[in-house]
Copies of this chain bind each other. A is one copy, B any other.
Amino acid sequence: MSAFFAAHQGLLEAAVQAARTRGYWSAYPETPSGKIYGETAKADGEAAFKALIGQPFPLDQQATTRVGRETSPYGFDLAISYPSAPVASLVAAAEKAGAAWARAGVEDRVGVALEILARLNRESFLIANMVQHTSGQAFMMAFQAGGPHAQDRGLEAVAYAYDEMAKIPGAVTWTKPAGKVNLVLDKQFRIVPRGVALVIGCATFPTWNSYPGLFASLVTGNPVIVKPHPGAILPLAETVRVARAVLAEAGFPADVVQLAADEADAPITKDLVLHPSVKIIDFTGSPAFGAWVRAHAEGKQVYTEEAGVNSIVIDATDDFRGMTGNIAFSLSLYTGQMCTAPQNIFVPRAGIETPDGHKSFEAVAEGIKISVDRLLGDPERAAAVLGAVQSEATLARVDAAAKGRVIRAAERIALPGYDGARAVTPLILAADAADTADYTVECFGPVAYVIATDSTADSLARAAGTAREKGAITASLYATDPAVIDAAADAFAAAGVALSVNLTGQVFVNQSAAFSDYHVSGANPAGNASLTDTAFVASRFRVATVRRQSAA
């Protein structure tokens, strides 16, 4: 047994168990506390991040040139450069390194993955700074979602993959009764990887969305090329650096994991996708590019998280202020740049019933507006909730959407401590159910529609229909009638959407917890895979058999 596997075996077993029970479980503490991560961890992480700015990133892999033009959404250039090599050279290095990796035992590979995760966890403050200043997430979210939560998702993938590989017996004796004698074969089953794996990251959650595919492909024996979004290279460069260090310590070629950085005006992703040796692709990004990947990856195993149009359906509530407060937070968190953030809020045009009496459609919309205003009234809290906007294109979408009945206008705001940060508050619009051209299109970013419908049945049909046609990852329902809840559960299950019901407290529809929530169902256009189910790992390896006629 490898030392790394031995060191982390207890954690692995707990993770496998958690994946089976899918209640609450987490391996890596989400609290950015000095007591947990070390009293100087916060300052050390920030200092380590600042020391990287303006420098060549210390990643020891083949390079014919260097690339990188990241800017922080908080208003400054990172000016960090990364090694760059031709796609063919990267793939060739992956294949060469992959031969030794394929021969390694399951426990060796899993041990390496668990050690990488452990070291990434210790670096969570550094990673947090890296995620903050590429994605634009506020620090707390960058720490949690970019650090421990991403690590949990990586561990979850390792646990599922390990569990599947452990199910394959290494050797068995097959004894078939055949009259007077037995027919006997000694059989060995060997796990064989698929080939070079490509992980295509996104700019908003560079680690959280990449770790599952990265670690699932890695432990199943495939060498991995990590292709970060050109706007969010740094967190994955650090991830690759750590992975290569652990691989080398364990006696494997560092090129089992490589970074493939590029710049927006000289993209290399398509060349990587099209390379015949690339056999597995994990993609997070836009539906437009996702469609291209799916169309050009025939014969390759492709796992995507693209995007969709998430809905809230309001039928009634027994806590109006809890409801509007919860919705306000969901719309504001990371400025609506989460794939799980709601866009469409369906409300009967006749209004809803609440403990405070009947509320008209307008009153519901106004209630949400007031809650957003209240949440974001304090600049420090607004900065902590909203963070910055990753891309100029998102701001442009907000501007373009601001037409018709504006319930709440988006406002450019300053983020305390950062000059030139790109920050904005949510835009909330009123719409009629008939205005489908506006609201059934995904508008990535802080844009929400409060939509007047004929009835809750109409709301459900529209929300589920949009999910089936355009994709959706989450849905949220407010209702007090069990029959309405059951109808919504049926409608959203059929559309492959995860439904949250009556969230009025400190759990939000945006949140997806590793080891419990299946993130993306794979059953509508928002993505073809789920984090993490067995299907996410089981096709990353194959089994080759050797049968020997027994000497007996």
Contacts and interface: CB of A to CB of B under 8 A. Distances in A.
A489 B169 CA distance: 17
A484 to B, nearest CB: 13
Interface in A519-544: 521-523, 528, 530, 533-535, 538-539, 542-544
Contacts of A530: 542-543
B192 A493 contact: yes
A50 interface: no
Interface string A492-518: 111011111111111100000100111
The A contact surface, by secondary structure, is mixed
Given A189-B22, A494-B192, A518-B543, A549 B175 contact: no
A534 B192 contact: no
Given A518-B543, A546-B499, A175 B534 contact: no
Interface string A344-372: 00000000000000000000000000000
Contacts of A66: none
Given A176-B24, A183-B507, A190-B493, A542 B517 contact: no
Contact of A496 (B167, B192, B500): B192
Nearest to A490: B103
Given A172-B21, A489-B546, A545-B498, A534 B533 contact: no
Interface string A19-57: 011111000000000000000000000000000000000
A122 interface: no
A481 interface: no
A194 interface: yes
Contacts of A192: 493-494, 496, 521, 523
A294 interface: yes
A178 interface: yes
28 contacts: A22-B172, A23-B175, A102-B494, A167-B534, A168-B533, A172-B516, A183-B507, A185-B500, A185-B507, A187-B517, A188-B489, A192-B493, A192-B523, A194-B523, A295-B298, A485-B548, A492-B544, A496-B542, A496-B544, A499-B546, A502-B549, A518-B545, A521-B544, A523-B544, A530-B542, A535-B538, A535-B539, A539-B539
Q: 5 shortest A-B CB distances, which residue pairs?
A: A493-B544, A523-B542, A535-B538, A501-B548, A534-B538
Interface of A: 20-24, 102, 164, 167-169, 172-176, 178, 183, 185, 187-190, 192, 194, 294-295, 298-299, 485, 489, 492-494, 496-507, 513, 516-518, 521-523, 528, 530, 533-535, 538-539, 542-549
